[in-house]
Structure 1
């Protein structure tokens, strides 16, 4: 398939995925949130702008420095505190939220917050998202709900968002297609003398040009000894013949992210040691994908993935878990790691990304995205995994 055909196909998919969300689905998700919150023993859950609010309403809001909260009691109607400048956007995507308390910059949010929380005066347990609630928002909750204990909503959010629908999985797969097409185009520019920063900039531009919803994170483009830094930062270092080039990158589609890593050799011929390390990581990736199925634990997936890397000659070069969840956030539950005895369920989406990092020499990581099915799992990524030599 030619470059133009790929771009056209992705554009057609973008048009379909951008269609308006159905209010019936949003209402169902609101009911789910209320039921799971009640089952957790909380009187209400409070959401700030972020992935869970996006999942619920189908629209991404940015709170910035302004107070913006959705309060969902288990036994009453939802209530919102919304900056006046966001009123039209909010009412357009949240028709089920009839009680909306607005505030503007001149007056401040205090009166709106007091009115919104008035119905929760007797609440004793309120769930909040631990990684997104800011000190400013916590102050308002403490002032308006002095008798309430703030608890983590992590288990609530995980239960709602961990299993991806077919529609969500298709969005992640579409993001992967965009990302992989962008990578292949960018790899044409890889050759000795190119800098890491040049390749990172080219890849970022291609992700956007081909319909990506943004850059999930600054592309990690690391060459030679720097490829041994799992989360290193690309700079002006120029690639040299016969060394590793590690590229970790992602984009989103309809709000859902992909996260892919591939490792290459820049021109020249890889040494026997390079082939040995690469093959070990490749086999770990294959084993991890094969182990991903419903009914086993994430600990089981991790240990099966890493089994051959735990050999004496590689053990000291392992530095991280096998993978993490993907969705509206680039990192979200589950954590595919040792000790996680949670059971893998059908619909879960996560990465399989084993790696070996030899300080001062180089590193290899191969990362794919999988969705668990009734029989095993589907790969949402399709970029070749065998060792490739670029710019020869």
Structure 2
């Protein structure tokens, strides 16, 4: 995507990128019209970026780089504070930049009042305190309501430029996995701490073109592999034993996410070999049913069926997968409670896992693109 790489991101936006973001906002207006909304306050950072190219990340959880106010009449606003005004002007018409002061909730409520009689906001993208203040300042006009999920609905199915960015991200992730596997096979990491391997992973990603990590790397040796979100620590890589590696990078603003569970050494245990075989069988069963129109919950059920047949389903303790894109975890979800169906352009992980506190766990993850007639792995 042109505005997400190199000099373009530093100096401005190409006409092609400007048209792309405008088209996305127009599609959002269609969803707003169905809700009867005159305006929508977009506060979630990835949604803001998806619609404008402005600031994919907020500084931290209690700070915001800004919001968008998308209006039914196409007179959209980029709202931010003094820290980001210059950055906003590189991407947005200066006449449509709204700079709020110390009381952002009050100022944004006033902007919404100018934008129509009925407005929505992303309640899940702001704190309870901010939402309460926003509604208090809005009063009875404009009529203000929670309107979550509208931008996420657009983001579920990726555009060609997004898919191309993800292909670059996943290509680097696959290179990283080969690098780790080869190092383990050579005994390079024997006796080293998990956190040392985690640092090598980050160094490899950044040294080969990634903007950064998509999420904090998971490196779990031995029994730590039974913790699905293990934090790399001082546990050492064994001479013989399982090592779970779950990592992702960000390239051109888009994430990758892959898990592999390797055996360090050359004598895999019977438990490990059987578990790895079952996990990969469950993944293959799930991927075999994936195509447009298949219910999300049915994909999960296909993997669970394999585990139930083997009598190990109680060791499968999480959902089967999730969407990947600007965020590592986004819609859709592959879980027993998921509603809806697969659609062309969705990019989802398929990551069954089995976990045993006494010796560790095995998770094996591919991310796939849903095509017009099936899927293809990244």
Residue of structure 2 in register with 1:378 after alignment: 376
Shift of 1:366: 0.4
Residue of structure 1 in register with 2:90 after alignment: 92
CA contact under 8 A between 1:186 and 1:206: conserved in structure 2? Answer: no
2:134 to 132, 141, 157: 141
Residue of structure 1 in register with 2:111 after alignment: 116
CA distance in structure 2 between the partners assigned to 1:14 and 1:88 by the alignment: 19
Residue of structure 2 in register with 1:290 after alignment: 288
Is 2:30 aligned against 1:35? Answer: yes
CA contact under 8 A between 1:45 and 1:153: conserved in structure 2? Answer: no
Is 2:157 aligned against 1:163? Answer: yes
CA contact under 8 A between 1:67 and 1:137: conserved in structure 2? Answer: no
CA distance in structure 2 between the partners assigned to 1:113 and 1:315 by the alignment: 49
2:41 to 43, 46, 52: 46
Residue of structure 1 in register with 2:353 after alignment: 355
Q: Number of aligned pairs?
A: 362
Residue of structure 1 in register with 2:166 after alignment: 172
Is 2:181 aligned against 1:183? Answer: no
TM-score by length of structure 1 reads: 0.85
CA distance in structure 1 between the partners assigned to 2:333 and 2:95 by the alignment: 37
CA contact under 8 A between 2:226 and 2:361: conserved in structure 1? Answer: yes
1:244 to 220, 242, 245: 242
Shift of 1:177: 1.1
Shift of 1:129: 4.9
Shift of 1:186: 3.6
Change (3 A) 1:66 1:22: closer
Residue of structure 2 in register with 1:300 after alignment: 298
1:201 to 199, 202, 218: 199
**162-171 or 76-85, which moves further after superposition?**
76-85
Question: Match of 2:213, SS?
Answer: coil
CA distance in structure 2 between the partners assigned to 1:17 and 1:187 by the alignment: 36
CA distance in structure 2 between the partners assigned to 1:302 and 1:49 by the alignment: 28
CA distance in structure 2 between the partners assigned to 1:362 and 1:201 by the alignment: 22
| Structure 1 unmatched runs, 5+ | 1-12, 381-392
CA distance in structure 1 between the partners assigned to 2:77 and 2:297 by the alignment: 40
Residue of structure 1 in register with 2:274 after alignment: 276
Question: Match of 2:344, SS?
Answer: coil
Q: How does 1:325-336 map to 2 (within 5 A)?
A: 325-336=323-334
Shift of 1:346: 0.6
| Structure 2 unmatched runs, 5+ | none
Q: Deviations over 1:165-204 (max 9, x none)?
A: 1211111111111122223224444333121111111001
CA contact under 8 A between 1:49 and 1:60: conserved in structure 2? Answer: no
Question: Match of 1:93, SS?
Answer: coil
Residue of structure 2 in register with 1:101 after alignment: 98
Residue of structure 2 in register with 1:6 after alignment: none
Q: Deviations over 1:62-111 (max 9, x none)?
A: 5443572211133462233221231222132223x843222456xx5477
CA contact under 8 A between 2:225 and 2:243: conserved in structure 1? Answer: yes
CA contact under 8 A between 2:123 and 2:131: conserved in structure 1? Answer: no
Residue of structure 2 in register with 1:10 after alignment: none
Residue of structure 2 in register with 1:22 after alignment: 17
Shift of 1:326: 0.6
Question: Match of 1:150, SS?
Answer: strand
Shift of 1:213: 1.8
Q: Deviations over 1:334-359 (max 9, x none)?
A: 01111323011111111000000011
